[in-house]
A and B are shown apart, each in its own frame.
Chain A
Amino acid sequence: MESEILVKQRQVVLPGDVMAKGIDYLPGSGCYRDGDEVKSKLLGLVKLKDRFLGVVPFSGIYNPRSGDGIIATVTDLQNAFWILNINSPYDAILQISEGVEEFVDLKRTDITRYFDVGDVIYVKVLNVAKSKSITLTMNDHRAKKLIGGMTLKFTPSKVPRLIGKQGSMIELIKKRTGCQIIVGQNGIVWLKGDDVSKAIEVIRMIEKEAHTSGLTDRVTEFLGGKDVPEEEISDCECDEECDCTEEENCGCLDEKVEENTEGGDVHE
């Protein structure tokens, strides 16, 4: 049986669209096998890598994975842990031992001195159990409490686009607006600065046009033209959305995103 691929890289597919025929192509994320065919289960863009087919959705909720750097809000306190909202269907737990480095005598200490209800923190996902009980950790060089500023919600599947290749897009926004911006992989964006409204406007524009090409140019234009030499901002030839280098090729979204977030760290 001859195997045949029926879609192109970055083509728009709908749930149920046949992406490939034959057993030589394998369904990755966002696809499933139906007999002899590989079909899409989401509305999104095709991502091809060797024999693997994938779909990057246009929308959807954040599905936590261990190692993700996210922005979470404390919603509840327990004796020895905090419960946080991580913009997913499941709440997450931050144990004292994972959240605080020093020794804490629980009998004498009020743990609100570390984190209180309403605090926003940049935190790393430690583990996601199969039952979706999620534990977090502050044991990461980027993890910290975010004081002041504001948060906004962004489409989680479009976060790589907001960060850009090697953090280029977010660096551009930070440079031009002078805001501190941190992007969590759960789609929560934290902003602080004088010109926050301009930054929000750009972020909303990116969200709206994330599936189009040449976005970086439009963003540059929106932020007042090209006056800084920006070689690193040029669009990746292979696939803008996955923000990877040519050698590594596309389809490596999951591994690369984490690295990208580093670029999303606070701009000093």
Chain B
Amino acid sequence: MSKVGAPEKLIIDGKRLDGRGLEDFRKMDADVHVLKHAQGSGMFSFGATKSVVGVFGPRTFHPRRLQKPKEATLRCKYFMAPFSTEDRIRPGHSRRGTEISKVITEAFSSVVIVEGFPKSGIDVFIDIVQASASTRCAGINAAAIALADAGVEMKDLISSVAVGKVDDTIVLDVGKAEDNYGQVDFAVSTIGGSDKFVHMQMDGVVSREEFSKMLSLAVKGCKQVYEKQKEVLRKKYGGESNE
């Protein structure tokens, strides 16, 4: 199965198109409190993929019929900026965005502590500023940073990474060409660098062995992302302990 414009080979001599090894990340970058007016905010990028997240809440939640009488409602929204890809994306809601918003909300609902804030809501706005594969992973990673920055109670951070199968080889952190022309794209999110999964999305066909190999690679990748998130959050407050 070959697509128009696809490069002949995505992996040459154990090196990927952008020169990475099979289990290397693109350059990860992260930051906290990048937006002044949001209660908490974060930025996370995998190479050219860049996501900015703003968090508000707990605050009065609308529409009122969605308020829960005993706990806060968590609502994550995923949007891609019109200028985030080569072709302009129509701004606003889309089928794809709605689905991703839903799975991200479900992923975070297992760590964010909603008890104690009845009838209120926590809003997480995930904006993809620049897209080049694994946008939802960058979004989740930035959202975890932003939630911590906003002072929202949560059990742990969530880290996310995409693994894939390209030229019958398992690779970490799928790049743009690999996403477009590869065989499998598999996004995985775990709690706090452990092997507790909160989100998995895959398309493509894999064997049972390949799947478990991909999963263990994803856990390893998530651990690295988790360290990056923690490092950035610590750096923000100077890591000062003032004993």
Per-residue 0/1 for A98-121: is the Cβ within 8 Å of any B Cβ (1 yes, 0 no)? 000000000000000000000000
CB pair A15–B151 under 8 Å, yes or no, is no
Within 8 A of B (CB), among A64-104: 89-91
Closest residue on chain A to residue B234 by CB atoms: A12
- Does B118 reach chain A (CB closer than 8 Å)? yes
Q: Which residues of B contact A60 (CB under 8 A)?
A: 150-152
How long is the Cα–Cα vector from A43 to B238 in the complex, in angstroms? 13
Task: Name the residue of chain A whose CB is nearest to the CB of B144.
Answer: A15
| B10 contacts chain A at the CB level, 8 A cutoff | no
Whether A39 sits at the interface, judged by CB under 8 Å, is yes
Q: Which residues of B contact A213 (CB under 8 A)?
A: 240, 242
Determine the chain A residues whose CB is within 8 A of the CB of B69 once the complex forms. Answer: 131
- Is A175 in the interface zone, CB < 8 Å from B? no
Bound-state CA distance A91–B119 (Å) is: 12
Residues in A34-49 with C-beta less than 8 Å from chain B: 34, 39, 41-44
Query: Pick the contact of A59 from B118, B151, B240 — CB < 8 Å?
Result: B151
Q: A63 — which chain B residues lie within 8 A by C-beta?
A: 116-117
Task: Please give me the residue from chain B that is nearest to A31 by CB atom.
Answer: B153
Output the least CB separation between B198 and chain A (Å).
13
Question: CB-defined interface of A134-175 with B at 8 Å, one 1/0 digit per residue?
Answer: 000000000000000000000001000000000000000000
CA distance A132 to B72 in the complex (A): 12
Contacting residues, chain A, for B156 (C-beta < 8 A)? 15-16, 39
Contacts of A132 in B (CB 8 A): 117-120
A10 within 8 A of B: yes
Residues in chain A near residue B59, CB distance under 8 A: 61, 89
Question: A12 touching B241 by the CB < 8 A rule?
Answer: yes
Asked whether A12 and B240 contact (CB < 8 A) given A32-B155, A131-B118, the answer is yes
Contact pattern, B 191-211, Cβ under 8 Å of A = 1, otherwise 0: 110000000000000000000
Q: Which of A12, A32, A89, A131 contacts B239 (CB 8 A)?
A: A12
> Chain B: interface secondary structure?
loop
CB closest residue in chain A, given B113: A41
A211 in contact (CB, < 8 A):
yes
Which residues of A, 19-43, contact B by the 8 Å Cβ criterion? 30, 32, 34, 39, 41-43
Q: A12-B241, A212-B240, A213-B242 are in contact. Are A157 and B151 (CB under 8 A)?
A: yes
Q: How far is the CA of A16 from the CA of B155 in the complex (A)?
A: 5
Chain B contact residues (Cβ within 8 angstroms of A): what range? 35 or more
> Residue B241 contacts which of A10, A43, A44 (CB distance < 8 angstroms)?
A10
A10 with B60: CB separation less than 8 A: no
CA distance A194 to B118 in the complex (A): 42
From DSSP, what is the main secondary structure of chain A's interface residues? loop
B155 and A11 contact, CB distance less than 8 A: no
- Are A14 and B234 closer than 8 Å at their CB atoms? yes
Would B57 and A89 count as touching, CB distance under 8 A?
Answer: yes
Residue A9 is within 8 A (CB to CB) of chain B in the complex = yes
A44 contacts across to B, CB distance below 8 A: 151
- Cβ of B177 under 8 Å from chain A: no
- Contact across chains for B155 and A59 when beta carbons are under 8 A apart: no
22 A-B pairs with C-beta separation under 8 A: A8-B241, A12-B239, A12-B241, A14-B157, A16-B155, A16-B192, A42-B148, A43-B151, A43-B237, A58-B151, A59-B39, A61-B39, A61-B151, A89-B57, A89-B58, A89-B119, A90-B60, A90-B119, A131-B69, A132-B117, A132-B120, A211-B237
A interface residue numbers (CB < 8 A to B): 8-12, 14-16, 30, 32, 34, 39, 41-44, 57-61, 63, 89-91, 130-132, 157, 211-213
With A15-B156, A61-B58, A89-B57 known, 5 other A-B pairs at CB within 8 A are: A8-B241, A10-B241, A43-B233, A61-B151, A63-B116
